[in-house]
Amino acid sequence: MTRVIGHEAAIPNPALKPLGFLVGEWHTEGSHPLLPGKILRGRTSFAWSDGGAFLVMRSEINEAEVPSGIAILGTDVDAGECSMMYFDERGVSRRYLVALRSDRWHWWRDAPGFSQRFTAELVDGGRRMAGRGELNRGDRWEPDLQLTYTRVG
């Protein structure tokens, strides 16, 4: 029997523990200012990868204008940071910083000409998250994707 290379490192990352509340599957419903009048429905899942060394997010929404994506969250213990590497079906790849709290998921990207931030907070005793995104293409923040996550099961 062949062992997985590096299996000893497939252990829980204690720095990611605050994001454990995300683990599971969520139905999503929301809106986007570029799609007025459309209700965006989809789903998002969060799962530990490699024994908890990383957290993986997968998302999809029922509108072709909103891409399906995958993100991997990990930490840099020396820098005291959590990063999210994002990739979607358009081939877009971005790095976001992530704030670690046990009741809120917050990520952001500050880049010239295209900055984003998103915050989702637990509501209803952890059964739902209310999420609000913002986008900055110049000198002011504007509404972006708004999502409500409802835990499945």
pLDDT at residue 1 is higher than 80 = no
Question: How high does pLDDT run on average in the chain?
Answer: 95
Q: What share of the chain is helix, strand, coil (3-state, %, to 5)?
A: 10, 55, 35
pLDDT at 106: 95
pLDDT at residue 27 is higher than 80 = yes
Say if CB 110 and CB 104 are below 8 A apart: no
| Residue from 22, 37, 43, 36 nearest 147 by CA | 43
Amino acid in position 117: R
Q: How far apart are CA 82 and CA 93, in angstroms?
A: 17
Sequence ranges of the domains in the chain: 7-151
In tens, the pLDDT along 4-25 reads 898 899 999 999 999 999 999 9
pLDDT at 3: 82
In tens, the pLDDT along 67-117 reads 999 999 999 999 999 999 999 999 999 999 999 888 999 999 999 889 999
Say if CB 125 and CB 105 are below 8 A apart: no
Amino acid in position 28: T
| Residue from 91, 100, 97, 92 nearest 116 by CA | 97
Of the two residues 137 and 31, the one the predictor is more confident about is 31
For residues 52-77, average pLDDT: 96
Q: Topology of domain 7-151, per CATH?
A: Lipocalin (2.40.128)
Please state the length of the chain.
Answer: 153
pTM > 0.85: yes
| Residue from 58, 66, 41, 53 nearest 17 by CA | 53
